[in-house]
């Protein structure tokens, strides 16, 4: 905030971003408590401190630690494996449960109390979704804010499926394999249920439109399978190069357009050995390969 004044009984605030951002920002206002911390993401420059802040309603302290830890681990993982984090702060801001979503905008993540702050998580039997959703939203600082996707079929594969993959890799660092499998089983169940209810013929992941059970649930399963097949290191290598080639601000968009899922597939195929190219292609481009639960969940 640069300036603040009052005129004719009305309050005025003048804000300025400290770097270029896409034209996409929220206005969130309340009497907040603030949890603060700082970190230097492991992939950022040595002095690139990031302020971490969670704005929350007093009394809603239950999952703050999970969310704060997830923010830190996510910034570390993504800055190391994809590219440095681009802002000087990252903020999570609570809002009431009239709506139940979280959304990432440049440096700020409005987050419903219903899906993070007020979740009752029992680590013995539950999956830590406060941790996972935080990691997913932080991933959008890369997928959506560093790299924008063309508004065509497959757009949500780039934005949402890659956020799911990124979050899953952070989740895998924090939680044992059994929890990862429990998460994947939830994805499988939601995907199957929505597929049975859907009246539309299923589109392959690379051509997904607005079917959330495909870009979220099936997307997570496909990307997890991909890193099992070709290795996490190779998947990250592909993502890093995809990002460097197509991100919006550091370079002008290639060929005056934004990235598509087919551009992404080019980088995936580049790190896939010949012996696995058919299997990997089917995962993304076919629908009929995706019928056996036990080929995805162990």
Residues making contact with Zn ion (CB under 5 A): 160, 163
CB of 10 to Zn ion, least distance (A): 36
CB of 140 to Zn ion, least distance (A): 6
Residue 29 or 210: the one with the smaller Cβ distance to Zn ion is: 210
Neighbours of 23 (CB within 10 A): 5
* DSSP-based three-state secondary structure for 38: strand
CB of 89 to Zn ion, least distance (A): 20
CB of 275 to Zn ion, least distance (A): 33
Contact 188, 297 (CB under 8 A): yes
**Parallel, antiparallel, or unpaired for β 33-39 and 89-95?**
unpaired
Contact 71, 85 (CB under 8 A): no
Neighbours of 8 (CB within 10 A): 4
Residue 128 or 271: the one with the smaller Cβ distance to Zn ion is: 128
Helix (H) or strand (E) holding 188: helix 177-197
Residue 69 or 160: the one with the smaller Cβ distance to Zn ion is: 160
CB of 236 to Zn ion, least distance (A): 19
CB of 136 to Zn ion, least distance (A): 5
How many whole angstroms separate alpha carbon 84 and alpha carbon 291?
Answer: 38
Residue 160 or 211: the one with the smaller Cβ distance to Zn ion is: 160
Residue 78 or 272: the one with the smaller Cβ distance to Zn ion is: 78
Q: How far is CA 11 from CA 6, 7, 28, 152, in A?
A: 5, 7, 15, 41
Determine phi and psi for 239, rounding to 5 degrees: -65, -40
Residue 53 or 160: the one with the smaller Cβ distance to Zn ion is: 160
């Amino acid at each position: 905030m640069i300036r603040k004044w009052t005129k004719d009984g009305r309050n005025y605030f003048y804000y300025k971003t400290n770097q270029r951002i896409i034209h996409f920002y929220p206005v969130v206002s309340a009497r907040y408590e603030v949890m603060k911390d700082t970190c230097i993401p492991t992939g950022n420059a040595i002095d690139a401190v990031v302020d971490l802040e969670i704005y929350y309603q007093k009394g809603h302290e239950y999952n703050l630690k999970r969310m704060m830890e997830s923010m830190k681990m996510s910034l570390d993982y993504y800055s190391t494996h994809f590219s440095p984090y681009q802002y000087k702060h990252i903020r999570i801001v609570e809002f009431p449960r009239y709506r139940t979503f979280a959304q990432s905008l440049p440096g700020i993540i409005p987050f419903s109390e219903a899906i993070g702050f007020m979740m009752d998580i029992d680590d013995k039997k539950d999956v830590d979704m406060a941790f996972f959703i935080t990691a997913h939203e932080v991933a959008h600082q890369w997928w959506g804010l560093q790299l924008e996707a063309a508004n065509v079929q497959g757009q949500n594969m780039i934005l949402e499926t890659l956020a799911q993959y990124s979050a899953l890799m952070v989740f895998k660092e924090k939680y044992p394999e059994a929890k990862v499998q429990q998460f994947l089983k939830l994805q499988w169940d939601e995907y199957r249920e929505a597929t049975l209810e859907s009246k539309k013929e299923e589109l392959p992941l690379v051509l997904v439109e607005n079917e959330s059970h495909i870009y979220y649930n099936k997307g997570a399963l496909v990307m997890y399978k991909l890193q099992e097949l070709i290795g996490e290191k190779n998947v990250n290598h592909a993502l890093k190069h995809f990002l460097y080639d197509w991100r919006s601000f550091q370079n002008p968009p290639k060929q005056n357009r934004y990235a598509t899922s087919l551009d992404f597939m080019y980088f995936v195929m580049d790190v896939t050995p010949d012996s696995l190219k058919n299997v990997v292609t089917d995962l993304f481009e076919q629908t009929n390969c995706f019928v056996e639960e036990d080929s995805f969940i162990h």
